[in-house]
Amino acid sequence: MKERTILVFLLVLCGLLAGSTTFFATLHFSEKPQAPGEVSTTQQPTPTPAPEPASAPPPPETSAAPVNFNTLPSVPEVTYTVQKNDTLFSVASSLEVSADEIALANNLTDVNVIKFDQVLVIPKVDKTAKVAEITFLPNDKGIKNVTSKIGAGQDTVHKDPLKTAQVDHGGLYGLGAQDSYTLGKNDDKTADIDVKHADDTFLITVKKHEQGIWIVLKITRKFSS
C-alpha cells in the first residue's frame, strides 16, 4: 500500500513538472526581448510640414536716377529741369520732342514717373535723317578735375578717345560697359566710336580739347526703321 501511494505521488509530481516546463517555455518565447538596433515596425505619425512663408511682391518699377554730369569734362547742351505738376508728356509737347525719345535718352523705365527738380537731357530729332542727337559742351569744372588727375597719374582714360567714349556717355540711352564699342575715324582731333546697344546703333563723337584731353562732343542714335 505504501509503495502504491509513493508511486501515485511520483506520477502526479511528474505531471506537474511537465506542465510547468510547457508554461515556462511558452512564457520564454512569447516575451522575446527586441534585439539591440532592431527597428520597430510600429508606424509613427507623419509630421505635418510647416507652411512656407509667402514671398514678398517685387518692388514697383521706377525711373532711373538722374544722370550727374558735374564731374565730366563735357555736359549735354540742352536739358530741362522738371517743375511741379510736370509730366513727361507735357514736357515733350512744350519742347516739340516725343515723350518716347526723351524717355529713351534719359533711360527712364516708366514714362509716367518723373520727379520735381529732375534734370532731363533733351535730344534733337531729325526725322529726315532718321537720327536723334545729344550735343555736348565743354565743362570747365570737369576739365579741371580731369587734368588734375592726369597730372597726378590718376587718370589715363581721357588720353584715349575709345576709353573716353566708353566712360563719359553718362548712362544716356542706357549705354554701359556691356555694350560693344568700336573705334572708327580718328584724325587725332576728332574720333567716331560705333556703339552697339541692344537693338540700337549709336555713334559717339569725341574731340581733343585744347588741354590735351578727349571729351564727348555728340551722341547720335540711329533709328532702326
Give the distance, in angstroms, between the CA of residue 166 and the centroid of all CA atoms in the same chain: 21
Per-residue pLDDT of the chain (225 residues; tens, 9 = 90+): 555 555 545 554 545 555 544 443 443 444 444 444 443 444 445 556 555 544 444 444 434 444 568 889 999 999 999 999 999 999 999 999 999 999 999 999 999 999 999 999 999 999 999 999 999 999 999 999 999 999 999 999 999 999 999 999 999 999 999 999 999 999 989 999 999 998 899 999 999 999 999 999 999 999 876
What pTM does this model have?
Answer: 0.70
In degrees rounded to 5, what are phi and psi of residue 151? -60, -30
- Kindly state the DSSP code that residue 97 receives in the 8-state scheme: S
Q: How far apart are CA 99 and CA 95, in angstroms?
A: 10
Residue 71 phi, psi dihedral angles, 5° rounding: -95, -5
Say what the pLDDT of residue 42 is. Answer: 41
Strands (E), the chain: 74-76, 79-81, 119-121, 124-126, 131-138, 180-186, 190-197, 200-208, 214-222
Domains and CATH numbers, the chain: 74-222 (3.10.350.10)
